Amino acid sequence: MLGRLRAGLLGALGVLLVAALWDLYKAFGPEQGVLVGERTLILPRATDLAMPHTWEMVRRLFEPATGLRGAPTALEAVLDASAFTLSIAARGWLVGVVVGIALALLMTRFKIAEAGMLPWIVLSQTVPLIAIAPLVRRWGAQIEFGSFTWENEHSVALIAAYLAFFPVAVGGLRGLKSPARTHVELMHTYGVGWWRTLITLRLPASVPFLLPALRLAAASAVIGSVVAEVSIGLRGGIGRMVVEYAQSAGGDPAKAWAPIFGAVAVGLVAAGAVGLLTLALRPFHLTETIR
Amino acid sequence: MSAAISTEVSAQDATQPQPRPPLLNGLRLSDLRLSAVLAPLAVGAAFLGGWQLAVDGLGIDPYIVPAPSAIWDQLVAARSNIVDGMVVTGRNALLGMLLGGLVGVLGAVVSSMVKVVDQMAVPIVAALSVVPIVALAPVLYTMFGAAVDTGRIVVAALAVSIPVYLNTLRGLRQVSAVHRELMWAYAATPTQVVRTVTLPTATPYVFTGLRIASSLAVISALIAEYFGGPVGGLGKAITSAASSSNYPLAWAYVTGSIVLGLAFYVVTLLVELWFARHAPRT
Amino acid sequence: MTSSKQTTGETTPGTTSRDTSAQAQAIDVVGVDRVFRRRRDEVVALQDVTVSVAPGEFVSLIGPSGCGKSTLLRLVADLDTPTSGSVTVFGKSARQARRDQDYGIAFQQAGLLPWRTVASNIELPLKLHGVGASERRARSCELLELVGLQDFGRHHPDQLSGGMQQRVAIARALAERPRLLLMDEPFGALDEITRERMQNELVRICRETSAAVLFVTHSIPEAVFLSDRVVVMSPRPGRIVEIVPAGGGMGTSHERTDEVRDAAEFFHTVATVREHLHGAPVVGARAVENR
Ligand SMILES: Nc1ncnc2c1ncn2[C@@H]1O[C@H](COP(=O)(O)OP(=O)(O)O)[C@@H](O)[C@H]1O
Ligand SMILES: [Mg+2]
């Protein structure tokens, strides 16, 4: 308990230290930054425009988001957008996890599937998703059955899933393959089939690998949602807000930081929620040491 | 709130006999077999063939997805522009990788030696690992100017530094009890312990971090171009080709960026395998 | 309850056959307790242990798992400190002896550095203590020959079998010509055939280097074959039940050959050790069983 408290205090101290460094640089750093050659800045400009005071960033959160009368504070606007992005990311995460686990199972079951697919799964993550985002939207526009129409929201969630499935597939595969040969052979001598072996041995053994993968997937889903919102042009979420608020940076430099804080919050909430799942699956962690 | 990420780091040193890290670790050069090359090639060929047939047979609009042959034509026709774009984006990604790798490794070394620094870094690392780094691009552009590459390099460096930091830190803590006790029995100085045992143990982990970060570096440098800056890189080229409705060309640029990301990945993978070649098989 | 006390003492059988009055004992452990405290639990790993090893003498520690053999050896190696009592090595504190590099050590796991070749693993302690390259090379050649691995100097540990790795570890322990060797079940992971061969080698190595040895094992024949004296221990709390001299018809520990394995004296000593291990006729052991 005392350790927790200490860790929390030190963590807060770390954040304060970064903020202090920021403002120290701003106070003593060169107005026009540090140049290399003609025009390449290697240290930033220390002007109010380029680097608003940290307290300005915080204060800005509590001022109205826009000049309109009755506009909500920036904090409220950011929270709204965060909730929206979080809900999309959650859907993307769920789809990604299901797909990732299915792929991991497939690759565990068939060696040839692993050999043939794993490189492509790795390759899939080198595709800049911002390039495929508009494409997904266009594909989605073709889909329509009954009362269901494909919204841009779904495209964003799909792209989130595209990032989220990767750690799950790879981590799941490693986990499912983690039981020692002796354990697998033991199951074989019991005359137990592949599915029973999966349920009694491989799945529990994969938990220690799956949990960090699920957490990574949550962070990836958030990142995917934010970036996809930008490139698809979906309004209402944090991604779009980053771009919009950055445009007003000329007159209101602190405002651009509000959605960034929001993005951090969304990511932490997502990862934290998956962390709670970890607690529920804690008993299976034992498999790690039994091996 | 930071518990989610911090447990990943601290749980690893709490339970000492923590085995391998979760992702593709424990790869070895000797694991590369012919089937490991042929099978994915077959899958790739089948995929491209099916794609071509579908586009030809169903008469799919290039607006939806252009045929591989059309993309190939554009690849050949615009190859010098594509290579130029790869050089611009690749240079940012490479500089970002070097900078981020350096920051990640140095940070991890400091954190592993000074517990207080380690704990102070937890929320910052947690925040950086869940935030889309490219979202920082706009504010970085106002800090460094959008016309020069500094902002894009910093984006790539930030994206790289986190996985490198986490993996290096993990590696620095992997020193086995036998090795630690052996060094103690030899009355080795702290510097000797670091040089003979800690660093060699951590090296494969550093490269694991770099490998995970490699394609991230390319993608981050590329996406950062979407938030502003001069024409020249792949990211800008993809958008401008798409906005002038030249979809095969846009796809040709996408192909260029995939090749670039793959090149980064393969190089770091080979370096990683080289350093891990004598690591005990897990 | 502390009835095992009388079985041990400064003048133990076996030491009398050697001249110990002039020089310090290689190891002198007097009245040592080691208690591990973990939250509420308390494990008495060693209780009132007194034992000594003369220069050039071979002493084995034997007993069931968890009786504190490793703990005792680690106290001598200064890898751990006693809760009470004193440990001296060549008349110095264990810490000073470690600083002076008065002993070589081999663990149950070979503990070779996987990224170094076999030869440079053997040279490691020499390198750490500033021995020049050419001298190191010469010494590792010598030692490779001693352990019968002259052709493997340039291999990496992962290319060697378990037995070969263990021989490298022993060569490494001998690198600095220590007057004392500490070995914790060094042959524990080996098959019986390799094991007997390694035992013969160890006899030869000890004869050639005339080092004192503290040797942990849970094989009775191994302990008897190798030792001048066998220290029999019992668990919970870990303490010395009896110290059985192994000599007479078998000669000193330097004179053992394969014939000894068939000698009547050998079988007799094995039987004595076994009796003490199983406790029946021994007062001290019965006291333990009644707890
Ligand atoms: N670091 C430690 N912390 C807590 N208990 C320990 C520790 N080391 C050893 N023990 C306990 O001390 C007892 C003796 O252990 P050990 O010396 O390793 O036995 P042996 O080598 O004879 O099998 C065991 O009950 C073990 O659990
Ligand atoms: Mg032991």
C-beta of C65 in contact with ligand 1 (< 6 A): yes
pLDDT of residue B24: 42
pLDDT of residue C221: 92
C-beta of C284 in contact with ligand 1 (< 6 A): no
Segment A215-237 mean pLDDT: 87
C-beta of C64 in contact with ligand 1 (< 6 A): no
pLDDT of residue C39: 76
pLDDT of residue A283: 64
pLDDT of residue B279: 65
Number of residues that make up chain C: 291
Are A163 and A227 spatial neighbours (Cβ–Cβ below 8 Å)?
no
Q: What is the pTM of this model?
A: 0.78
pLDDT band at B44 (very low <50, low <70, confident <90, very high): confident
Ligand 1: centre distance to CA C66 (Å):
6
Going by C-beta distance under 8 Å and a sequence separation of 6 or more, which residues neighbour residue B156?
B92, B93, B95, B96, B97, B100, B217, B218, B220, B221, B224
pLDDT of residue C6: 39
Q: What superfamily would CATH give domain B78-278?
A: MetI-like (1.10.3720.10)
- Please give the share of chain C, as a percent, with pLDDT higher than 70: 88
**Residue C111's CB: how many other CB atoms inside 10 A?**
22
Segment C165-186 mean pLDDT: 89
pLDDT of residue C216: 94
Q: What is the C-alpha to C-alpha distance for residues A178 and A288, in angstroms, rounded to an integer?
A: 9
> Of A253, A231, A248, A249, which Cα lies nearest the Cα of A240?
A231
Residues 168-197 of B with CB under 8 A from A: none
Are A128 and B257 spatial neighbours (Cβ–Cβ below 8 Å)?
yes
pLDDT of residue B32: 58
pLDDT band at A52 (very low <50, low <70, confident <90, very high): confident
Of A91 and B273, the one with more pLDDT: A91
Quote the tokens at residue C117: 């070749």
Q: What is the C-alpha to C-alpha distance for residues B236 and A44, in angstroms, rounded to an integer?
A: 24
- Please give the share of chain C, as a percent, with pLDDT higher than 90: 29
Q: What is the C-alpha to C-alpha distance for residues C173 and C110, in angstroms, rounded to an integer?
A: 11
pLDDT band at A100 (very low <50, low <70, confident <90, very high): very high
Chain-chain contact of C125 with B186 (C-beta, under 8 angstroms): yes
Whether C231 has a pLDDT exceeding 90, the answer reads yes
What are the backbone angles phi and psi of residue C181, rounded to the nearest 5°? -115, 130
pLDDT of residue C248: 77
- Please give the share of chain A, as a percent, with pLDDT higher than 90: 15
pLDDT of residue B35: 67
Segment C252-261 mean pLDDT: 86
Instruction: Flag the least confident range among B21-30, B184-193, B234-243, C163-172.
Output: B21-30
> Of C79, C78, B172, which Cα lies nearest the Cα of C88?
C78
Are C24 and C5 spatial neighbours (Cβ–Cβ below 8 Å)?
no
pLDDT of residue C247: 80
Sign of CA dihedral A266, A272, A276, A277: positive
Going by C-beta distance under 8 Å and a sequence separation of 6 or more, which residues neighbour residue C177?
C209
Residues 96-125 of B with CB under 8 A from C: none
Segment C136-164 mean pLDDT: 88
pLDDT of residue A92: 94
Are A166 and A121 spatial neighbours (Cβ–Cβ below 8 Å)?
yes
Question: DSSP letter string over A170-207?
Answer: HHHHHHHT-S-HHHHHHHHHTT--HHHHIIIIIHHHHH
Distance from CA of B264 to the nearest CA of C (A): 25
Instruction: Flag the least confident range among A96-100, A192-196, B159-163.
Output: A192-196
pLDDT of residue B230: 73
Ligand 2: centre distance to CA B205 (Å):
31
pLDDT of residue A197: 84
Element (H, E) at C70: helix C69-76
Segment B238-245 mean pLDDT: 83
pLDDT of residue C284: 42
Neighbours of chain A (3+ CB pairs under 8 A): B
What are the backbone angles phi and psi of residue C263, rounded to the nearest 5°? -75, 150
pLDDT digits (tens, 9 = 90+) for C81-114: 999 999 999 988 888 888 888 888 988 888 888 8
pLDDT band at C62 (very low <50, low <70, confident <90, very high): very high
Whether C119 has a pLDDT exceeding 90, the answer reads yes
Q: What is the C-alpha to C-alpha distance for residues A72 and A44, in angstroms, rounded to an integer?
A: 32
Q: What is the C-alpha to C-alpha distance for residues C6 and B276, in angstroms, rounded to an integer?
A: 55
Are A270 and A115 spatial neighbours (Cβ–Cβ below 8 Å)?
no
At residue C37, the 3 state secondary structure works out as strand
Segment C60-64 mean pLDDT: 92
Of B130 and C224, the one with more pLDDT: C224
- Residue C141 near chain B (CB below 8 Å): no
Which chain B residue has its CA at the smallest distance from C159's CA? Answer: B278
Instruction: Flag the least confident range among A82-91, A138-147, B153-162, B270-279.
Output: A138-147
Residues 199-218 of B with CB under 8 A from A: 215, 218
Kindly give the pairing relationship between strand C212-217 and strand C103-106.
Answer: unpaired
Task: Select from 3.40.50.300, 3.10.310.10, 3.20.20.140, 3.90.1310.10 the CATH code of C2-102+178-290.
Answer: 3.40.50.300
Residue with structure tokens 């770099």?
A: B210
Segment C242-254 mean pLDDT: 85
Instruction: Flag the least confident range among A230-244, A272-286, B97-111, B201-215.
Output: A272-286
Whether A23 has a pLDDT exceeding 60, the answer reads yes
Instruction: Flag the least confident range among B57-61, B148-152, C250-254.
Output: B57-61
pLDDT of residue C149: 87
Chain-chain contact of A128 with B222 (C-beta, under 8 angstroms): yes
Whether B1 has a pLDDT exceeding 60, the answer reads no
Number of residues that make up chain A: 291
Going by C-beta distance under 8 Å and a sequence separation of 6 or more, which residues neighbour residue C187?
C166, C194, C195, C198, C199, C217, C219, C222
Whether the complex's predicted ipTM surpasses the cut of 0.90: no
At residue C247, the 3 state secondary structure works out as coil
Of C126 and A285, the one with more pLDDT: C126
C-beta of C238 in contact with ligand 1 (< 6 A): yes
Q: What is the C-alpha to C-alpha distance for residues C59 and C231, in angstroms, rounded to an integer?
A: 7
Chains A, C in contact, 3 or more Cβ pairs below 8 Å: no
pLDDT of residue B33: 62
Distances (CA, A) of A255 to A55, B72, B140: 12, 45, 14
Chain-chain contact of B185 with C129 (C-beta, under 8 angstroms): no
Q: What is the C-alpha to C-alpha distance for residues A180 and A165, in angstroms, rounded to an integer?
A: 26
Chain-chain contact of B124 with A230 (C-beta, under 8 angstroms): no
Kindly give the pairing relationship between strand A144-145 and strand A148-149.
Answer: antiparallel
Distances (CA, A) of C253 to A118, B82, C108, C221: 59, 78, 22, 13
Residues of chain B contacting residue A242, judged by C-beta atoms under 8 Å apart: 135, 138
DSSP B231: B
Residue nearest to atom 16 of ligand 1 (CA): C68
Segment A249-257 mean pLDDT: 78
- Residue C189 near chain B (CB below 8 Å): no
